[in-house]
Amino acid sequence: MRNQRVLVTGGAGFIGSNLANYLAEDNDVIAVDDCYLGTPENLDRTVEFHETSVLEDDLPTDVDVVFHLAALSSYGMHEDDPTKGARVNVEGFVNVVEQARDDGCETVVYASTSSIYGSRTEPSPEEMVVSVNTGYEASKLARERYAEYFANHYDMSMAGMRFFSVYQGYGGAEAHKGQYANVIAQFANDLANGEAPVIYGDGTQTRDFTHVSDIVRGLELAADHELTGVYNLGTGEAYDFNTVVDLLNEELGTDIDPEYVENPIPDSVYVHDTCADPTKINEKTGWEPRIAFREGIRRVCAPYVSEPAPVDRTTDDR
């Protein structure tokens, strides 16, 4: 993507800032964020930043492409306030797309979630039947249905990206998120500080961990190809949490066992295993992950070799 005017909502957050900074090398990029989970410190100076909510009027939607990543992004946030979750994730999405459409933008790439597949150890294809067990999942599936409406009624390009477990270290843009940071970043930071990482359950749960740089490329390709529909962004490989801790210990030169605690998330809604089938996005755009998991682990751990570790954190998705 080159010489485009681009809006990234949630643009000061983890994935959003990585995307905004990457695209700003060749495009005019605007980032919108209410700074609940993001901070403008994550953004390069070339990115135009607006601290505002996606629920507001007069958003800077006079652009060629919208990447809509703004969301309340965890189970806990939605259980604490289901109405707010629906407003931000669903109404906020419709509000941004409608303003962009009024301004002549016809291409939107937005964040959905792999959680709607439930617990699966086999790769999950986009065409499988999905269901929702949480407010978070309901809000993301609602986005997909509204995107279908905008695509069918207004002939817009609407690409929903079902993210799997996106990761990067605290040396990237995750430290600000605290308890909502990805588990690999938190585990690495705990170990580097000499602390035991806390795992919900017995550590056998698995995730398709996908490095944020691969996610950013997938988002850009979806816009370049003006895709419509839903697409998995994941590697097709999964690792259990115990293995993650072992690999981090190996890379950091530590030898700390995790602490296992009872899972506070009910078994009926906890997604124990995820794995992507990325065939569809590969066939449409040629996308495939470039960062092997061990290389991703190395990148997460690299800052601790010469820099002091940040403060340790806890998570609500272990």
Q: Is residue 282 part of a domain?
A: no
Q: Is residue 313 part of a domain?
A: no
pLDDT of 307 > 60? The answer is: no
pLDDT of 68 > 60? The answer is: yes
pLDDT of 276 > 70? The answer is: yes
Tokens of 261: 């605690």
CATH number, domain of 187, equals 3.90.25.10
Q: Is residue 314 part of a domain?
A: no
pLDDT digits (tens, 9 = 90+) for 24-57: 999 999 999 999 989 999 999 999 999 999 999 9
Residues 41 and 75 in one domain: yes
Residues 62 and 177 in one domain: no
282-294 b/e (C-beta count within 10 Å ≥ 16 → b): beebebebebebe
pLDDT digits (tens, 9 = 90+) for 114-134: 999 999 999 999 999 999 999
pLDDT of residue 312: 43
pLDDT of 316 > 50? The answer is: no
Q: Is residue 311 part of a domain?
A: no
The residue among 81, 74, 218 whose CA lies nearest residue 140 is 74
Residues 88 and 217 in one domain: yes
pLDDT of 287 > 50? The answer is: yes
pLDDT digits (tens, 9 = 90+) for 155-194: 999 999 999 999 999 877 777 777 778 999 999 999 999 9
Average pLDDT (208-230) is 98
Residues 136 and 68 in one domain: yes
pTM above 0.85, yes or no: yes
Domain boundaries, position 192: 167-207+237-275+291-306
pLDDT of 251 > 80? The answer is: yes
Total domains in the fold of the chain: 2
Residues 132 and 199 in one domain: no
Residues 172 and 271 in one domain: yes
